[in-house]
Structure 1
Amino acid sequence: MKHLIIILILMYAACISAIAQTSEADSTAKRHDELMQIIMTKPKVPIKTIGIYVYDGYNTLDAIGPYQVLSELMSVNIFFVAKNNGFVKNQRGLELKVDKSIAEVEQLDILIIPGGAKETFFQTQDQEVLDWIRKIDQKSVYTASVCTGAWILGATGLLEGKDVSANWYRASEIMDMYGAKYQPERFVRDGKYWTSAGVTAGMDMALGMINELMGDKYTKAALLDLEYDPKPIYPDGNATKTEPIVKEMLMQMYDIDLKPLIDAEKNKKEESAQKKKKQESWPELDDYHAVMAQTFHPAEEGNLKPLYANAEQLAAKASILKKSVVPAKYQKLGVKESVEALEKESVALAKMVKKKKSEDELKKAIFALHDRFHEVMEKCHH
């Protein structure tokens, strides 16, 4: 009997303890739910998919940093994508298994492009990759780059006219090639485009995205969950703060592999621009215009001496213009016919001068010829 009483007492104590623990657990869960109601606000824009594009030679933290930070967003599918699925190696040869290829990924809410070095530059030449980025950008909420990943994003043309951040190395020079304006900030947002400075700055950019989407309390919770409170032992992680000798050493190191590639790309772009300019220009028309201006404007004021001197030259320039190839830009309705009429009337004016026609007749002829020239110009630019 005595043993039974002891057993009953122990069972009663255990029940009381279990009830107390259950009550405490319920209370904790309830408080957690209450706090989550405060912190877990509705996202400004729903984000369901985040893809981080990786390639052989990518910088590890450029990709893994934003991956870790953006994983703080709940109910989001975040994954790596490469040109081909399989293994991709970072700068140090560490392999990352990638299950999705660009052919399999047709839509992303957020696309992030990490940087690297020489291999990153090679990505700027891969039209298949650039076309895929442009395609994803059509529907993405945010399109972003980390470090030299801005080179790849810039090569798509999507950053033209945008303020951007990037790795400090020749940043203004390189981003200018892509029509973007470099800002020496930790990260920059211009519309839907987010770009960060080098490596670790990608984490700050990712936190900026969380703050934009979820607000300050959620972001602060993410910061604490990550225990992200960096305190570098020196302030030299910024190109504007480090010692000149340190910056010069790194610049020289990067230049060994990258400067020849950058210079070649700049030359290619300059040659392309010159070629385009040449294709869009019509030097024969410009030459005729120059002689016309020297002849017509004095005639307006009653001075026909330049007309007597330039009539043969006008006729010759008009004949050259008629025989020239019309640039594609100016191959418009009626241009060819107007140029033929201009040549015919220029030759006729030269004959009038040679035959010593009256000043009144010559004035009428040069005024009519000037009108014909403007007809050509209007049709070219219509």
Structure 2
Amino acid sequence: MSPSTTRRNVLRGTLATTALAATPTVAARGGEAHAAPADGGAGPRIGILLYDGYSLLDPTGPAEVLSRLPNATVTMIAERRGAVRTDTADVAVVAERSLAEVDGLDVLLVPGGGNRGTLAAMRNHVLLRWIRAMHRRTRWTTSVCTGSLVLAAAGLLEGREATTYWASADYLQSTFDVTYLPRRYVRSGKIVTAAGVSAGVDMALYLASLITDDETAKAIQLAIEYDPQPPFDAGNASHAGPELRQRALESLAASQV
């Protein structure tokens, strides 16, 4: 098979064509502005923060979506370059840049993690200072799952509406000046928060539509064949009984280190 027929090149060609057909500067969608990249043509610089104990899908799900944006660059970032392990410690993702090597981003994404990882990140003043510094220059600052707790600890969610992992909703509201909304994702100004783990994919598709346009986001959704049809209707905490909630939390705790 020639390079021109590989899946990646086919997808890139499809998305590039879609993007060229879109309005190049600003497209209206539900009263919201869709700004073109700030550097006058180059794609968005997307940085995903990693820290010890994050949940694997939180950064990688959105990365799968956002890396398909035309000319986008997606970089994994941590305090130091190298492998960073997840909350289960079974998998590691490589951070290609350290915090000190990144001085500006168009999009910042902060993932959530297990209790150990999230609480450590919330207390890590090096991370929090860097998040605040990036936020001053981002076009979009985003989080997945308990990543919203890290944003709140950095002081970015004060007086805002946000979402988070369902089991952390009370903590978010009682600890910070934040109004929790039980939605898959919530936008408040340039901050977009996603609910637990898998909701990061939904948020990333929404973000893709804001960065480009709806048709490009739809093309990416089809390109990654994101058409959820789970075998069980058990993913919404508001529909779950106390026994299932408890079993879900026990399952998470048992899998984390």
Scaled by the length of structure 1, the TM-score of the pair is 0.56
- Which residue of the partner structure matches residue 115 of structure 1? 112
Amino acid at match of 1:87: A
Cα deviation digits, residues 326-366 of structure 1 (max 9, x gap)? xxxxxxxxxxxxxxxxxxxxxxxxxxxxxxxxxxxxxxxxx
CA shift in 2, pair 1:33/1:99, >3 Å? closer
Structure 1 position 253, deviation (Å): 6.3
Secondary structure, aligned partner of 2:94: strand
Counterpart of 2:143 (choices 142, 145, 153) is 145
Answer whether contact 1:39 1:217 (CA < 8 A) is retained.
no
Structure 1 position 40, deviation (Å): 4.0
Counterpart of 1:179 (choices 172, 177, 187) is 177
Structure 1 position 36, deviation (Å): 3.8
Measured in 1, the distance between the counterparts of 2:83 and 2:16 equals 44
Measured in 2, the distance between the counterparts of 1:220 and 1:113 equals 24
Measured in 1, the distance between the counterparts of 2:146 and 2:19 equals 39
Answer whether contact 1:172 1:181 (CA < 8 A) is retained.
no
- Report the structure, 1 or 2, having the larger helix content: 1
- Which residue of the partner structure matches residue 45 of structure 1? 36
Matches within 5 A, 1:1-382: 36=18, 39-42=21-24, 44-46=35-37, 47-93=43-89, 94-117=91-114, 118-251=116-249
Secondary structure, aligned partner of 1:240: helix
CA shift in 2, pair 1:83/1:39, >3 Å? same
% identity of equivalent residues: 35
Secondary structure, aligned partner of 1:188: strand
Ranges in structure 2 where 5+ consecutive residues have no aligned partner: 1-13, 26-34, 38-42
Answer whether contact 1:53 1:81 (CA < 8 A) is retained.
yes
Aligned residues: 226
- Which residue of the partner structure matches residue 11 of structure 2? none
CA shift in 2, pair 1:35/1:66, >3 Å? closer
Measured in 2, the distance between the counterparts of 1:60 and 1:252 equals 18
Measured in 1, the distance between the counterparts of 2:78 and 2:110 equals 11
Measured in 1, the distance between the counterparts of 2:161 and 2:45 equals 26
Secondary structure, aligned partner of 1:195: strand
- Which residue of the partner structure matches residue 359 of structure 1? none
Structure 1 position 137, deviation (Å): 0.5
CA shift in 2, pair 1:215/1:254, >3 Å? same
Answer whether contact 1:176 1:182 (CA < 8 A) is retained.
no
Amino acid at match of 2:75: F
Higher relative contact order structure (alpha carbons within 8 Å, sequence separation ≥ 6): 2
CA shift in 2, pair 1:201/1:119, >3 Å? same
Answer whether contact 1:107 1:139 (CA < 8 A) is retained.
yes
Answer whether contact 1:151 1:175 (CA < 8 A) is retained.
no
Answer whether contact 1:163 1:190 (CA < 8 A) is retained.
yes
Ranges in structure 1 where 5+ consecutive residues have no aligned partner: 1-31, 259-382
Amino acid at match of 1:45: A
Answer whether contact 1:39 1:218 (CA < 8 A) is retained.
no
- Report the structure, 1 or 2, having the larger strand content: 2
Measured in 2, the distance between the counterparts of 1:67 and 1:33 equals 16
Structure 1 position 71, deviation (Å): 1.0
Structure 1 position 235, deviation (Å): 1.7
Answer whether contact 1:84 1:101 (CA < 8 A) is retained.
yes
